[in-house]
Amino acid sequence: MDTPVLQASDVSATDKARDTLLQVADLHFWSLTANPLRLLNKRALGILNVALRRRHEFDAERAYAHIEALVNCSCGQLLLTGDFASTSLDEEFEQARCFVETLVKRGFKPYILPGNHDVYTFESVRAHRFERHFGEYLPRNGYPSMHVLPGGTSLLLAPTVCPNLISSRGRVEDHVVRRLKEMLADASDPAIVAGHYPLLLHTPGYTLSKERLLRNAQALRVVLGECQKRVLYVCGHVHRFSYVRDEIYSNLSHLSTGTFFGKHHHGPANGSFSEIVVYPDSFGVYKHTHVDEWTRKSVSAG
């Protein structure tokens, strides 16, 4: 079946916004441990990375200062696409939980997905550490899940993470893809689908190595592209902003967002988030970036 030509991101000046959703990605709260019993797995490498690099890039004080920029958007719907922690330590999740609780107190409704750093070790997955710390904010029936924003826009949350011995690869299971296909049949048009990992290996904004990609991504991409609805796929993981229209499916666009309070390797910015405006037949995307102050820029899908 031919996919209808549905432009996913061309906004008419006369369109009235249906919904607005903010996206925050890759918080990476961190903690150091020297306890050898907690280093008998992949965490040993992760802690070394935190000690040498990540702790210099992610200053948690900026996280709370940056909340004001979110509040100033006057939007209560907030999507957090994972990597709350760095090595899945309880101490990291406790910091992240406090941050989310602060957001809730400021009036935000959070929609939460885990990232690969939130399932960093097999032990942390067996202990359900992410679920224990964020349980009240997670979908009651697990993932995938579908939520409805105040204006009627469907938001689908796709599970894409799994523990690995060494790599940072994700995986979207076949049964998850099938369930998302069923959900999309009942979803609004336009609709937003979110996962931690990008579906595309390469865009002008990033390139994914084979050690960081999402396994079975193409199966999900096909489902989104053939659903005959306008879909925006939203992710994090790559620490880069990218907004592109799919080269094969004209109804599908892809948005990845940079780190909320991390220093950027490719420039002076030390914070970013995305603002998604949903119109009756399209999307508008705004990139928020912090250098010395916050700037807001309208971005078109490339």
The domain made up of 19-299 has a fold known as Purple Acid Phosphatase; chain A, domain 2 (3.60.21)
Overall size of the chain counted in residues: 302
pLDDT, one tens digit per residue, over 243-258 is 999 999 999 999 999 9
Give pLDDT, residue 44: 66
* Burial readout 159-188 (b: 16 or more C-beta within 10 A, e: otherwise): bbbbbbeeebbbbbeeebbebbbebbeebb
Give pLDDT, residue 118: 96
Residue 75: CB atoms within 10 Å: 18
Q: Quick one: what percent of the chain has pLDDT higher than 70?
A: 86
**Closest alpha carbon to 147 in 96, 110, 116:** 110
Strands 19-24 and 77-80 come out as parallel
Task: List the chain domain ranges.
Answer: 19-299
Give pLDDT, residue 52: 67
**3-class secondary structure, 193:** strand
Q: For the chain, which residues score pLDDT lower than 70?
A: 1-15, 32-41, 43-44, 46-52, 55-56, 264-267
Give pLDDT, residue 55: 66
Element (H, E) at 78: strand 77-80
Token look-up 């048009």 returns: 189
pLDDT, one tens digit per residue, over 162-208 is 998 888 899 999 999 999 999 999 999 999 999 999 999 999 999 99
Please, which residues bridge with residue 78 across strands? 22, 110
